[in-house]
Every structure is written in C-alpha cells, then in structure tokens.
Structure 1
Amino acid sequence: MQSPTSTAQGLSGSLFGAYTLPTFKFQPRRESVDWRRISALDVDRVARELDVAALQENIAGVTFCNLDREVCGRCGQPVDPVLLKVLRLAQLSIEYLLHCQDCLSTSVAQLEARLQASLGQQERGQQELGRQADELKGVREESRRRRKMISALQQLLLQTGAHSYHTCHLCDKTFMNATFLRGHIQRRHAGMVEGGKQRKQEQPVEEVLEELRAKLKWTQGELEAQREAERQRQLQEAEIIRQRETEAKKEFDEWKEKERAKLYGEIDKLKKLFWDEFKSVANQNSTLEEVPNLKDFSEFFS
C-alpha cells in the first residue's frame, strides 16, 4: 500500500506536470456526528444506485466529525479504540482525496485556460497567415505587372534600335531624342558652344574652305576604299562560287565514270555467266547432232 506522500508525488508528477500542489494540512475535527441524518441514509441503496449526490451531501459531515467523545447508545461505553483508529484513517484518506480533487479541478481549469489561449493564438496565427498570403499574392501580381512592363520597354528599345539614340559630341552622354540633346547642350555646354561659334566666326573664309576641302577629300577616300573593299569581296565570292561549281562538276564526272565502269563490269559478268551456262549445256549434250558449234556461241557473246 502506498503512503500519502508517494501518492501526492505521483499525482504531482503525472497529472499536474508544471503545476505546483498547494500546501496540504489535515484539519482538526470539531463537528459532532449527525446520527439522525446518517440513520436516515440507506447505504445499500446509495451503493446500488450510485447516488453520488448523496455522497457529496454527507462527505463533509463524515470526514470532519469528531468521534473521540462518542459512546455507545445502548451500553454507554466509549467506541473501541481500534475501530476508532480505522474511522480516523478513513477520515484522513477522504480529506486527502478531497484535497486531490480540488487540485485536479484547479489543474483542469488552468489547462482549459491555456487551451483557450492556445486556440486564440492559433486563430490569430491563421489570420496572420491569411494576411501574409494576401500580401504575397499582391506582391506577385505587382511583380508580374512590372515584368510585363520591363518586357514591353525592352521590346520598344529593340524596335527603336541603336540608331535612334542621339549622342552628345561634346561628352559621352546619349539621349532618346534631339530635344533632350539640345536641352543638355544648352545646360551643360553653353559656353563651349558659344566659344566654338565665335571661333568659327573669327576663322577666315579661306581656312574654312580648306577645311571643307580636306573633309571632302577624306570622305572621297573613304568612299573609294569602301568601294574597293566591296569589289574585292564580290570578286572573292565569285571565285569561291566558281571553285565550288568546278569541284561539283568534277565530282559528278568522277561519279559518272565510276557508275559507267560499274555498269560495264556487271555486263561482263553477265556475259561470262551466260557463256559458262551455254558451255555447260553444250558439254552435257555433245552427243546430240542438233547442238550448234560452240564457236558460234562464242562469236555471239564476243
């Protein structure tokens, strides 16, 4: 039989977990026994019908009553000490079980509170997940829209081509149209443009003409060089085409000669085969007079 201390430790370890049992102390017995109430109670009926309500009504009176001064109603003698000891042990056991019942009720209430808190936290987590899912969906839609926009811009840039850009001749910057280029020159290179205009105005007419002649000559030289390069390229392409045609014709002639030689070889083989066959037939029928001379057949196949 386990002691109350080991029972309390078992309950504290297995049922209560992290919950701490309140301090337990047996209460003194000061109440008197209500003999009339106990006499009116049918114990057999309570056990047969499992009348827990009747037990709850009488459990406090039985547990906390004082039996030390009780005497027998018939003989007036005090209660047997051994029987009294058994009754007191039963009272202490019931009191301890009531204490355990209170602890269990408290633990159940605390666990229910924790369960409700966990359910609330789970619901808030699900709401947060739903909100984040909606945000993620919106971000994906925005990303898809921006990708389409970037793709459209790339297609537009590819369609416009590199020649549509306008490069500043005074720096390395490029612009989408001539308006932006003129604005850039007016903002960034206004002094250089005005100085260039003044220098051009100050130059003599002869120097300007000489410069134009030099530029024209250089341009003509570039055009001649490009024409010569184009002519050389065309000549090279024509030579390559002629060589390819010659090689193709040569290969065709070689193939034709091979096929002709192959055909003649097949014809010679057939002639030899027929000649051998006729020769064999002539040897087998040499006794017959109707067989023509083999020399005639040889002349026929020669």
Structure 2
Amino acid sequence: KSFSNSLCYLQCGNMFGNMLANPSGIPAFKFQSRHNSIDWRRFSAIDVERVARELDVTTLQENIASVTFCNLDSEKCPHCQQPIDPVLLKVLKMAQLTIEYLLHSQEYLSASLALQEEQVQACLEELTQTKQQLDKQAEELKGVKEESRRRKKMIATQQLLLQAGTNNYHKCQLCDKAFMNYSYLQAHVEPITHGSCKKQVEQMEDEIQKLKMKLKETHTLLETEREAETQQKIRQREEEGRRESERWKEEERTKFQKEVDGLRQLFLTEFKDIASKNSALEGVSEMESFYLTWVLPSSPEASGAAGPKPGGVQSGHPTG
C-alpha cells in the first residue's frame, strides 16, 4: 500500500512538473520570499477540529496566505521562549512550499480548464456546422434521388413508347411529353395558357426574340465587315493602280532614256563620220594646194604650159 501511495505521489509530481515546465500562458513558477510575521493570536482563536469537521473552506481561504507566506525563522515558543525545533521548522517550510506550489497548480489547472472549455466550445461550433452541412448534403442527396427516380420513370415510359411504335402515341408539339391517347393530349394542350407548356412557349418566344436580336447584331456586324472589306479592296485597287502607274512611268522613263542614249550614240557616230570625211577633204585640199603651189611651177611641163618660150618654141612641141 505504501508503494502504491509513493507511485501515485510520483505520478502527481510528474504532472505538476509538466505544469511547471509548460504553464500555458501563466507566468513561470517561482517560490516567493517570506517576510510576514505570523499572527499567533489569530491562529490561537481558530478551532482546527471544527474546521476539519465542518469543512470550513472559507476559514482556510482566509488564512492560507498567512500560513503560506509567513516567516518562521525568528519565531520562538511563546511559553519557553526557545527557538523552534529545526526539524519541525523544515516540516513547516516544506508545508509552505507545498501549499504555494499547490496554489500555482490550482491557477494552472483553472487556466487549462478555461482553455479546454474554449476548445470544446470551438469543437461544438464546428460540430454544429458539420451537422448543418450534412443536413444540407442529405437534402441535396434526397433531391438527387428524387430526380433520378423521376428520370428512370421517364426513361421507362419512353422505352415503352418506343416498343409500342411511333404511330401508337401522340407527342405534344410544345413540350417533350407524349400521350398514349389523343384525348389525353387534348386535355394537356387545352390549359396551355395556365400550364407548364405556357412557360415553355414563353421561353421559346424569349429565345426567338434573343435570336432575332443576335441575328440583327450579326447582320449589322456583317454589313460593317463587308463595308470595311469593300473599302479595303478599294484602297488595295488604288494602291495597285498607283504602283502600276509608277511602274509604267518608270518603264517609259527607262525606254525614253534608252532612245535618247541611242540617238546620242547615232549622232555621235554620224558626227565622227562627218568629222573624218571633213578631215579627208581638208587633206586632199591641202595636197592640191601644195601641188599647185610648189610642184607644178617648178616642172618643165608647167613652164611650157605657162606660155611660149623665147625662140618661138611652145611647150611640148619643137618649132618647125
């Protein structure tokens, strides 16, 4: 039994040691110094047996600070005025330290309890939200199941209609429903102004209006694009005409330049021929002048031809 008690005390000590190491927001534990003197008169008036018998916790709370933080080192026995027994003093100091540590443990446990309550409250709120989500998903699942059941029934009906043949049922022209009898179809079509088909007709009319608007917008867009394309083609044609005109002008300019160069070359050739002919004629004229001036007068034939010589002899013929 003593071994079990010791083991229990060791486990409690380990728990308190963990609280000391991890105070969870409470300041680190430290033993306080003791300077207060004990009030012997007040303690002599307390009936300890009554407190234990009646569980007078109020008296304990009122005197716990005085007991825990009083200084007993200088206290003496009021009867014999002798110092307190050192062993008894150690026991009292250990009791004070134990009470102080238990007060710290109480504060730690209170803070931990408050923290755990906050965590429990957060978990409860999260659990409530999870339940709400589960309920919502259950409702959605129920709706999906109903829709699946309805679609299965519709598929089964369509399969029966297909098996019966296309001429054995009457299909509504305003919705997707089909009827085995024409009277059922008439009964379905008659309240069209107040039934579900009216909504489909209105939806179809809205769709038609939307399609008309889209068609009008598309037509306008096409007209704009066509006009832009026409303008683009006109600009391209003008640009091509301008380039063609520039090319024709360049060709004509080149052709004219070639003709001018040919005429210049022809004129230059003719000029050279004329110059060479003039040079030849000038050379002949100079030779003729030289001949007439210098060669002909000095020759005998030239002298005879010039006139009769003295003695009656003419040029070229002896006198008779």
Of structures 1 and 2, the one scoring higher in RCO (CA 8 A, sep 6+) is 1
User: What TM-score do the two structures reach when normalised by structure 1?
Assistant: 0.46
Q: Which has the larger radius of gyration?
A: 2
